[in-house]
Chain A
Protein backbone atom coordinates (compact mmCIF):
# COMPACT_ATOMS: atom_id res chain seq x y z
CA UNK A 1 0.00 0.00 0.00
CA UNK A 2 1.29 3.43 -0.90
CA UNK A 3 1.49 5.95 1.89
CA UNK A 4 -1.12 8.26 0.37
CA UNK A 5 -3.69 5.50 0.53
CA UNK A 6 -3.69 5.39 4.33
CA UNK A 7 -6.78 6.81 5.92
CA UNK A 8 -5.98 10.44 6.74
CA UNK A 9 -2.79 10.96 4.75
CA UNK A 10 -4.18 13.16 1.98
CA UNK A 11 -6.17 15.28 4.39
CA UNK A 12 -3.01 15.97 6.34
CA UNK A 13 -1.11 16.68 3.13
CA UNK A 14 -3.69 19.22 2.04
CA UNK A 15 -3.31 20.90 5.40
CA UNK A 16 0.48 20.95 5.28
CA UNK A 17 0.75 18.56 8.21
CA UNK A 18 2.99 15.87 6.72
CA UNK A 19 6.45 15.30 8.07
CA UNK A 20 9.20 16.20 5.60
CA UNK A 21 10.00 12.52 5.07
CA UNK A 22 6.40 11.67 4.33
CA UNK A 23 6.18 14.62 1.98
CA UNK A 24 9.39 13.74 0.14
CA UNK A 25 8.22 10.20 -0.47
CA UNK A 26 4.82 11.40 -1.63
CA UNK A 27 6.32 13.95 -4.02
CA UNK A 28 8.26 11.20 -5.73
CA UNK A 29 5.22 9.02 -6.32
CA UNK A 30 3.68 9.09 -9.78
CA UNK A 31 0.29 10.17 -8.44
CA UNK A 32 1.60 13.28 -6.74
CA UNK A 33 1.19 15.57 -9.76
CA UNK A 34 -2.46 14.54 -10.13
CA UNK A 35 -3.26 15.39 -6.53
CA UNK A 36 -1.26 18.58 -6.76
CA UNK A 37 -3.33 19.64 -9.77
CA UNK A 38 -6.57 19.11 -7.85
CA UNK A 39 -5.18 21.01 -4.90
CA UNK A 40 -4.17 23.98 -7.03
CA UNK A 41 -7.40 24.05 -9.00
CA UNK A 42 -9.45 24.17 -5.81
CA UNK A 43 -7.27 26.74 -4.07
CA UNK A 44 -9.29 29.65 -5.40
CA UNK A 45 -12.72 28.15 -5.71
CA UNK A 46 -15.67 30.33 -4.89
CA UNK A 47 -19.39 30.02 -4.57
CA UNK A 48 -21.85 32.73 -5.53
CA UNK A 49 -21.54 35.80 -3.36
CA UNK A 50 -23.69 36.21 -0.28
CA UNK A 51 -25.14 39.56 0.68
CA UNK A 52 -24.80 39.15 4.40
CA UNK A 53 -26.18 42.55 5.40
CA UNK A 54 -29.22 42.21 3.18
CA UNK A 55 -29.86 38.67 4.41
CA UNK A 56 -29.58 39.77 8.03
CA UNK A 57 -32.05 42.57 7.40
CA UNK A 58 -34.45 40.06 5.88
CA UNK A 59 -33.95 37.80 8.86
CA UNK A 60 -34.78 40.61 11.30
CA UNK A 61 -37.92 41.31 9.32
CA UNK A 62 -39.00 37.71 9.48
CA UNK A 63 -38.35 37.46 13.20
CA UNK A 64 -40.29 40.65 13.65
CA UNK A 65 -43.26 39.12 11.81
CA UNK A 66 -43.21 36.02 13.97
CA UNK A 67 -43.12 38.14 17.07
CA UNK A 68 -46.67 39.23 16.53
CA UNK A 69 -47.65 35.72 17.52
CA UNK A 70 -47.39 35.82 21.30
CA UNK A 71 -45.67 33.42 23.63
CA UNK A 72 -42.94 32.36 21.26
CA UNK A 73 -40.46 34.62 22.98
CA UNK A 74 -39.85 35.61 26.51
CA UNK A 75 -40.04 39.23 27.44
CA UNK A 76 -36.37 39.78 27.96
CA UNK A 77 -35.04 38.94 24.51
CA UNK A 78 -37.95 40.57 22.74
CA UNK A 79 -37.51 43.87 24.43
CA UNK A 80 -33.78 43.89 23.99
CA UNK A 81 -34.20 42.93 20.44
CA UNK A 82 -36.95 45.38 19.80
CA UNK A 83 -34.83 48.20 21.13
CA UNK A 84 -31.98 47.30 18.84
CA UNK A 85 -34.21 46.71 15.88
CA UNK A 86 -35.89 50.03 16.42
CA UNK A 87 -32.78 51.76 15.16
CA UNK A 88 -33.12 49.98 11.85
CA UNK A 89 -36.83 49.53 11.49
CA UNK A 90 -38.35 52.08 13.88
CA UNK A 91 -41.97 51.06 13.22
CA UNK A 92 -42.21 47.53 14.63
CA UNK A 93 -41.14 48.60 18.10
CA UNK A 94 -44.15 50.87 18.42
CA UNK A 95 -46.45 48.16 17.16
CA UNK A 96 -45.00 45.71 19.57
CA UNK A 97 -45.25 47.92 22.61
CA UNK A 98 -48.82 48.83 21.86
CA UNK A 99 -49.79 45.18 21.90
CA UNK A 100 -49.52 45.20 25.66
CA UNK A 101 -51.35 47.63 27.81
CA UNK A 102 -49.07 47.66 30.80
CA UNK A 103 -45.63 46.59 29.81
CA UNK A 104 -43.64 45.64 32.87
CA UNK A 105 -40.00 45.26 32.09
CA UNK A 106 -38.21 42.89 34.42
CA UNK A 107 -34.59 42.42 33.56
CA UNK A 108 -31.65 40.68 35.15
CA UNK A 109 -28.21 41.42 33.75
CA UNK A 110 -26.09 38.41 32.90
CA UNK A 111 -23.12 40.73 32.46
CA UNK A 112 -22.64 44.46 32.94
CA UNK A 113 -25.24 45.96 30.68
CA UNK A 114 -26.50 49.37 29.79
CA UNK A 115 -30.24 49.70 29.57
CA UNK A 116 -31.88 52.69 27.96
CA UNK A 117 -35.06 53.79 29.65
CA UNK A 118 -37.95 55.19 27.61
CA UNK A 119 -37.04 58.83 28.41
CA UNK A 120 -33.38 58.52 27.42
CA UNK A 121 -32.16 58.01 30.96
CA UNK A 122 -29.94 54.99 31.27
CA UNK A 123 -29.12 52.35 33.80
CA UNK A 124 -25.81 50.60 33.75
CA UNK A 125 -26.70 47.37 35.48
CA UNK A 126 -24.06 45.30 37.16
CA UNK A 127 -23.95 41.62 36.36
CA UNK A 128 -26.58 39.60 38.28
CA UNK A 129 -28.51 42.70 39.30
CA UNK A 130 -32.16 43.12 38.50
CA UNK A 131 -34.37 46.07 37.62
CA UNK A 132 -38.05 46.30 36.89
CA UNK A 133 -40.24 49.17 35.82
CA UNK A 134 -43.44 49.95 34.01
CA UNK A 135 -42.54 51.01 30.48
CA UNK A 136 -46.03 52.11 29.54
CA UNK A 137 -46.43 55.16 31.75
CA UNK A 138 -42.75 55.77 32.24
CA UNK A 139 -42.77 59.46 31.37
CA UNK A 140 -45.31 60.27 34.11
CA UNK A 141 -44.08 57.74 36.59
CA UNK A 142 -40.36 57.24 36.70
CA UNK A 143 -40.15 54.56 39.35
CA UNK A 144 -37.75 51.70 39.02
CA UNK A 145 -37.11 48.82 41.38
CA UNK A 146 -33.55 47.69 41.91
CA UNK A 147 -32.08 44.56 43.39
CA UNK A 148 -28.30 44.67 43.29
CA UNK A 149 -26.03 47.41 41.94
CA UNK A 150 -26.56 49.93 39.19
CA UNK A 151 -25.31 53.26 37.90
CA UNK A 152 -28.03 55.68 36.88
CA UNK A 153 -27.73 58.52 34.44
CA UNK A 154 -30.98 60.41 34.67
CA UNK A 155 -32.45 62.82 32.15
CA UNK A 156 -34.23 65.86 33.50
CA UNK A 157 -37.96 65.48 33.92
CA UNK A 158 -40.42 64.20 36.47
CA UNK A 159 -39.23 62.84 39.77
CA UNK A 160 -37.03 59.81 39.30
CA UNK A 161 -37.20 57.24 42.02
CA UNK A 162 -35.32 54.03 42.63
CA UNK A 163 -37.04 51.70 45.05
CA UNK A 164 -35.22 49.03 46.99
CA UNK A 165 -35.99 46.75 49.83
CA UNK A 166 -34.19 49.08 52.20
CA UNK A 167 -35.51 52.38 50.96
CA UNK A 168 -35.64 54.75 48.03
CA UNK A 169 -33.45 57.22 46.17
CA UNK A 170 -34.99 60.20 44.43
CA UNK A 171 -33.37 62.58 41.97
CA UNK A 172 -33.77 65.23 39.33
CA UNK A 173 -31.32 64.75 36.45
CA UNK A 174 -28.10 63.38 37.78
CA UNK A 175 -25.89 60.32 37.85
CA UNK A 176 -25.36 58.10 40.83
CA UNK A 177 -24.47 54.60 41.84
CA UNK A 178 -26.41 52.36 44.17
CA UNK A 179 -25.05 49.25 45.81
CA UNK A 180 -27.85 47.48 47.53
CA UNK A 181 -27.91 44.29 49.49
CA UNK A 182 -30.31 42.85 52.00
CA UNK A 183 -29.01 44.84 54.93
CA UNK A 184 -26.91 47.72 53.62
CA UNK A 185 -27.26 50.43 51.04
CA UNK A 186 -24.48 52.52 49.55
CA UNK A 187 -25.23 55.46 47.27
CA UNK A 188 -22.59 57.53 45.52
CA UNK A 189 -23.48 60.73 43.68
CA UNK A 190 -21.40 61.45 40.57
CA UNK A 191 -23.24 64.51 39.31
CA UNK A 192 -26.24 66.63 40.33
CA UNK A 193 -27.92 66.01 43.64
CA UNK A 194 -29.46 62.91 45.17
CA UNK A 195 -31.84 62.36 48.03
CA UNK A 196 -31.60 59.08 49.90
CA UNK A 197 -34.27 57.80 52.19
CA UNK A 198 -33.53 54.53 53.94
CA UNK A 199 -33.51 52.95 57.37
CA UNK A 200 -35.43 55.93 58.69
CA UNK A 201 -32.80 58.43 57.54
CA UNK A 202 -33.17 61.13 54.93
CA UNK A 203 -29.92 62.44 53.42
CA UNK A 204 -28.98 64.64 50.53
CA UNK A 205 -25.81 63.91 48.57
CA UNK A 206 -23.82 66.33 46.47
CA UNK A 207 -21.31 65.50 43.75
CA UNK A 208 -18.52 63.25 45.00
CA UNK A 209 -20.33 62.29 48.19
CA UNK A 210 -21.36 58.84 49.19
CA UNK A 211 -23.28 57.35 52.02
CA UNK A 212 -23.49 53.86 53.44
CA UNK A 213 -26.55 53.00 55.46
CA UNK A 214 -27.64 50.00 57.46
CA UNK A 215 -29.75 49.39 60.51
CA UNK A 216 -28.13 51.58 63.21
CA UNK A 217 -25.23 52.43 60.93
CA UNK A 218 -24.39 55.44 58.83
CA UNK A 219 -21.11 56.33 57.18
CA UNK A 220 -20.40 59.24 54.90
CA UNK A 221 -17.67 59.05 52.30
CA UNK A 222 -16.16 60.83 49.33
CA UNK A 223 -15.09 59.83 45.86
CA UNK A 224 -12.89 61.61 43.37
CA UNK A 225 -13.81 59.32 40.53
CA UNK A 226 -16.47 60.24 38.03
CA UNK A 227 -17.70 56.72 37.30
CA UNK A 228 -17.93 53.60 39.45
CA UNK A 229 -15.00 51.25 38.95
CA UNK A 230 -17.07 48.25 37.91
CA UNK A 231 -18.47 49.91 34.81
CA UNK A 232 -15.27 49.90 32.77
CA UNK A 233 -13.16 47.82 35.10
CA UNK A 234 -11.19 51.00 35.54
CA UNK A 235 -10.88 53.89 37.94
CA UNK A 236 -11.72 57.16 36.20
CA UNK A 237 -10.62 60.60 37.38
CA UNK A 238 -11.08 64.14 36.26
CA UNK A 239 -8.70 66.78 37.52
CA UNK A 240 -7.77 65.40 40.91
CA UNK A 241 -4.47 65.45 42.77
CA UNK A 242 -2.11 62.63 41.84
CA UNK A 243 -2.03 61.74 45.53
CA UNK A 244 -5.71 60.75 45.38
CA UNK A 245 -5.15 58.63 42.30
CA UNK A 246 -2.26 56.85 43.93
CA UNK A 247 -4.28 56.13 47.06
CA UNK A 248 -6.91 54.53 44.88
CA UNK A 249 -4.24 52.59 43.00
CA UNK A 250 -2.72 51.34 46.26
CA UNK A 251 -6.10 50.19 47.44
CA UNK A 252 -7.05 48.46 44.20
CA UNK A 253 -3.82 46.49 43.90
CA UNK A 254 -2.92 46.26 47.57
CA UNK A 255 0.51 47.74 47.01
CA UNK A 256 2.50 50.60 48.51
CA UNK A 257 3.92 53.33 46.27
CA UNK A 258 7.35 54.55 47.39
CA UNK A 259 9.64 57.30 46.19
CA UNK A 260 9.76 61.08 46.18
CA UNK A 261 7.81 62.93 43.51
CA UNK A 262 5.31 65.71 43.24
CA UNK A 263 1.98 64.40 44.50
CA UNK A 264 0.10 67.65 44.08
CA UNK A 265 0.07 67.54 40.26
CA UNK A 266 -3.35 67.19 38.72
CA UNK A 267 -4.42 63.93 37.08
CA UNK A 268 -7.12 63.34 34.49
CA UNK A 269 -7.53 59.87 33.09
CA UNK A 270 -8.21 56.33 34.09
CA UNK A 271 -6.44 53.14 34.96
CA UNK A 272 -7.64 49.54 34.73
CA UNK A 273 -8.24 47.69 37.99
CA UNK A 274 -7.31 44.31 36.58
CA UNK A 275 -3.90 44.90 35.01
CA UNK A 276 -1.26 46.50 37.19
CA UNK A 277 1.30 46.95 34.39
CA UNK A 278 -1.08 48.98 32.27
CA UNK A 279 -2.31 50.82 35.35
CA UNK A 280 1.21 51.92 36.26
CA UNK A 281 1.91 53.05 32.71
CA UNK A 282 -1.27 55.10 32.68
CA UNK A 283 -0.68 56.72 36.04
CA UNK A 284 3.05 57.37 36.01
CA UNK A 285 3.73 57.49 32.27
CA UNK A 286 2.27 60.95 31.68
CA UNK A 287 4.61 62.45 34.32
CA UNK A 288 7.73 60.87 32.84
CA UNK A 289 8.21 58.86 36.00
CA UNK A 290 9.85 55.45 35.92
CA UNK A 291 8.46 52.68 38.03
CA UNK A 292 9.55 49.33 39.27
CA UNK A 293 7.23 46.73 40.70
CA UNK A 294 8.39 44.46 43.51
CA UNK A 295 5.60 41.93 43.43
CA UNK A 296 6.85 39.90 46.35
CA UNK A 297 6.68 42.76 48.83
CA UNK A 298 3.81 44.58 47.14
CA UNK A 299 5.82 47.71 46.54
CA UNK A 300 6.13 50.08 43.62
CA UNK A 301 9.24 52.27 43.49
CA UNK A 302 9.00 55.52 41.62
CA UNK A 303 12.16 57.00 40.14
CA UNK A 304 12.03 60.54 38.90
Chain B
Protein backbone atom coordinates (compact mmCIF):
# COMPACT_ATOMS: atom_id res chain seq x y z
CA UNK B 1 0.00 0.00 0.00
CA UNK B 2 1.98 2.95 -1.13
CA UNK B 3 -0.56 5.60 -1.92
CA UNK B 4 -1.90 7.97 0.61
CA UNK B 5 -5.62 8.65 0.13
CA UNK B 6 -5.16 12.17 1.41
CA UNK B 7 -2.93 12.89 -1.54
CA UNK B 8 -5.19 11.35 -4.15
CA UNK B 9 -5.27 14.61 -6.10
CA UNK B 10 -1.58 14.43 -6.91
CA UNK B 11 -0.10 14.65 -10.35
CA UNK B 12 1.42 11.17 -10.37
CA UNK B 13 -1.60 10.18 -12.39
CA UNK B 14 -0.26 10.26 -15.92
CA UNK B 15 -3.44 11.76 -17.33
CA UNK B 16 -3.56 14.40 -14.60
CA UNK B 17 0.08 15.21 -15.33
CA UNK B 18 -0.66 15.59 -19.02
CA UNK B 19 -3.68 17.79 -18.28
CA UNK B 20 -1.50 20.02 -16.12
CA UNK B 21 1.00 20.24 -18.94
CA UNK B 22 -1.74 21.10 -21.42
CA UNK B 23 -3.23 23.83 -19.34
CA UNK B 24 -0.09 25.44 -17.94
CA UNK B 25 2.90 24.84 -20.21
CA UNK B 26 2.25 27.72 -22.59
CA UNK B 27 1.71 30.34 -19.91
CA UNK B 28 4.67 29.00 -17.94
CA UNK B 29 6.80 29.16 -21.09
CA UNK B 30 5.69 32.74 -21.73
CA UNK B 31 6.22 33.71 -18.09
CA UNK B 32 9.80 32.45 -18.32
CA UNK B 33 10.21 34.07 -21.71
CA UNK B 34 9.14 37.44 -20.24
CA UNK B 35 11.86 36.96 -17.69
CA UNK B 36 14.73 35.73 -19.82
CA UNK B 37 13.87 36.90 -23.34
CA UNK B 38 15.04 33.66 -24.93
CA UNK B 39 12.50 31.21 -26.32
CA UNK B 40 14.98 28.39 -26.34
CA UNK B 41 15.86 28.91 -22.70
CA UNK B 42 12.22 29.35 -21.74
CA UNK B 43 11.19 26.11 -23.47
CA UNK B 44 14.02 24.33 -21.75
CA UNK B 45 13.13 25.69 -18.34
CA UNK B 46 9.54 24.52 -18.83
CA UNK B 47 10.85 21.01 -19.34
CA UNK B 48 13.04 21.24 -16.26
CA UNK B 49 10.18 22.55 -14.16
CA UNK B 50 7.85 19.78 -15.30
CA UNK B 51 10.48 17.13 -14.62
CA UNK B 52 10.76 18.47 -11.08
CA UNK B 53 6.98 18.36 -10.79
CA UNK B 54 7.02 14.72 -11.84
CA UNK B 55 9.73 13.87 -9.33
CA UNK B 56 7.79 15.59 -6.58
CA UNK B 57 4.40 14.39 -7.75
CA UNK B 58 3.69 12.53 -4.52
CA UNK B 59 4.05 15.72 -2.56
CA UNK B 60 2.39 18.30 -4.77
CA UNK B 61 -1.40 18.25 -4.74
CA UNK B 62 -3.07 19.22 -7.98
CA UNK B 63 -4.25 22.51 -6.52
CA UNK B 64 -0.65 23.53 -5.86
CA UNK B 65 0.76 22.47 -9.19
CA UNK B 66 0.53 25.92 -10.74
CA UNK B 67 2.35 27.78 -7.99
CA UNK B 68 4.88 24.94 -7.78
CA UNK B 69 5.64 25.23 -11.50
CA UNK B 70 5.91 29.01 -11.52
CA UNK B 71 8.08 29.08 -8.41
CA UNK B 72 10.30 26.30 -9.69
CA UNK B 73 10.54 27.94 -13.11
CA UNK B 74 11.50 31.22 -11.50
CA UNK B 75 14.18 29.57 -9.37
CA UNK B 76 15.59 27.76 -12.37
CA UNK B 77 15.65 31.05 -14.27
CA UNK B 78 17.55 32.75 -11.45
CA UNK B 79 20.15 29.99 -11.60
CA UNK B 80 20.83 30.23 -15.27
CA UNK B 81 20.37 33.17 -17.49
CA UNK B 82 20.96 36.76 -18.33
CA UNK B 83 17.94 38.68 -19.54
CA UNK B 84 17.41 39.64 -23.13
CA UNK B 85 14.73 41.73 -24.75
CA UNK B 86 11.31 40.18 -25.15
CA UNK B 87 10.04 40.19 -28.72
CA UNK B 88 6.31 40.53 -29.13
CA UNK B 89 4.10 39.96 -32.12
CA UNK B 90 1.34 42.37 -32.95
CA UNK B 91 -1.29 40.39 -34.76
CA UNK B 92 -2.49 42.19 -37.89
CA UNK B 93 -6.10 43.13 -37.48
CA UNK B 94 -8.03 42.25 -40.57
CA UNK B 95 -10.56 44.99 -40.33
CA UNK B 96 -7.82 47.57 -40.60
CA UNK B 97 -5.77 46.07 -43.39
CA UNK B 98 -7.79 47.58 -46.25
CA UNK B 99 -7.72 50.91 -44.53
CA UNK B 100 -3.99 50.57 -43.95
CA UNK B 101 -3.29 50.12 -47.65
CA UNK B 102 -5.02 53.36 -48.38
CA UNK B 103 -3.23 55.12 -45.58
CA UNK B 104 0.38 54.06 -45.59
CA UNK B 105 1.17 56.84 -43.13
CA UNK B 106 -1.26 55.35 -40.70
CA UNK B 107 0.43 51.99 -41.01
CA UNK B 108 3.83 53.56 -40.49
CA UNK B 109 2.60 55.38 -37.45
CA UNK B 110 1.07 52.21 -36.08
CA UNK B 111 4.30 50.29 -36.61
CA UNK B 112 6.24 53.01 -34.87
CA UNK B 113 3.89 53.00 -31.94
CA UNK B 114 4.17 49.24 -31.65
CA UNK B 115 7.95 49.44 -31.61
CA UNK B 116 7.93 52.08 -28.90
CA UNK B 117 5.40 50.07 -26.94
CA UNK B 118 7.55 46.97 -27.15
CA UNK B 119 10.54 48.94 -25.93
CA UNK B 120 8.47 50.50 -23.15
CA UNK B 121 7.24 47.07 -22.03
CA UNK B 122 10.81 45.82 -21.96
CA UNK B 123 11.78 48.80 -19.85
CA UNK B 124 9.23 47.92 -17.17
CA UNK B 125 10.53 46.55 -13.88
CA UNK B 126 10.49 42.76 -14.07
CA UNK B 127 7.59 42.27 -11.67
CA UNK B 128 5.38 44.69 -13.58
CA UNK B 129 6.42 43.40 -16.96
CA UNK B 130 5.51 39.77 -16.29
CA UNK B 131 2.20 40.64 -14.66
CA UNK B 132 1.27 42.95 -17.52
CA UNK B 133 2.11 40.37 -20.18
CA UNK B 134 0.58 37.38 -18.38
CA UNK B 135 -2.66 39.32 -18.28
CA UNK B 136 -2.57 40.91 -21.72
CA UNK B 137 -1.12 38.01 -23.71
CA UNK B 138 -1.92 34.89 -21.73
CA UNK B 139 -5.26 36.27 -20.55
CA UNK B 140 -4.58 35.08 -17.03
CA UNK B 141 -6.81 36.75 -14.49
CA UNK B 142 -5.29 38.75 -11.64
CA UNK B 143 -6.34 35.98 -9.29
CA UNK B 144 -4.61 33.33 -11.38
CA UNK B 145 -1.43 35.38 -11.58
CA UNK B 146 -1.56 35.97 -7.82
CA UNK B 147 -1.88 32.23 -7.18
CA UNK B 148 0.95 31.42 -9.55
CA UNK B 149 3.36 33.93 -8.07
CA UNK B 150 2.27 33.38 -4.49
CA UNK B 151 1.32 37.00 -3.79
CA UNK B 152 -1.99 38.71 -3.09
CA UNK B 153 -4.39 39.70 -5.83
CA UNK B 154 -4.22 43.27 -4.63
CA UNK B 155 -0.45 43.26 -5.16
CA UNK B 156 -0.98 42.09 -8.73
CA UNK B 157 -3.54 44.84 -9.37
CA UNK B 158 -1.13 47.43 -8.03
CA UNK B 159 1.68 46.19 -10.26
CA UNK B 160 -0.68 46.21 -13.22
CA UNK B 161 -1.79 49.78 -12.55
CA UNK B 162 1.79 50.92 -12.10
CA UNK B 163 2.78 49.20 -15.32
CA UNK B 164 0.09 51.10 -17.23
CA UNK B 165 1.13 54.44 -15.79
CA UNK B 166 4.76 53.72 -16.59
CA UNK B 167 3.91 52.73 -20.15
CA UNK B 168 1.84 55.87 -20.64
CA UNK B 169 4.66 58.04 -19.32
CA UNK B 170 7.32 56.41 -21.46
CA UNK B 171 5.16 56.63 -24.58
CA UNK B 172 4.18 60.24 -23.91
CA UNK B 173 7.40 61.88 -22.74
CA UNK B 174 5.89 65.38 -22.77
CA UNK B 175 3.41 64.60 -19.97
Q: Which residues of A contact B (CB under 8 A)?
A: 4-5, 7-12, 14-15, 31, 34-35, 37-38, 41-48, 50, 52, 55-56, 58-59, 62-63, 66, 72-77, 80-81, 84-85, 106-111, 128, 130
Contacts and interface: CB of A to CB of B under 8 A. Distances in A.
Interface residues of B, number: 58
A50 B25 contact: yes
Contact of B171 (A34, A48, A58, A111): A34
B167 interface: yes
B69 interface: no
A260 B109 CA distance: 79
Given A55-B47, A72-B55, A38 B161 contact: no
Contacts, number: 139
Interface string B20-61: 011001100110010000010001001100110011011000
B11 to A, nearest CB: 9
Given A11-B157, A41-B90, A77-B14, 15 more contacts: A8-B158, A10-B161, A11-B156, A35-B164, A41-B114, A43-B136, A46-B91, A50-B26, A56-B22, A58-B47, A59-B21, A63-B54, A77-B12, A77-B54, A106-B2
Interface string B74-89: 0000000000001111
A111 B5 CA distance: 9
Binding site of B, secondary structure by majority: helix, strand, loop or mixed? helix
Interface hub of B93, B142, B164 (most chain A Cβ within 10 A): B164
A92 to B, nearest CB: 14
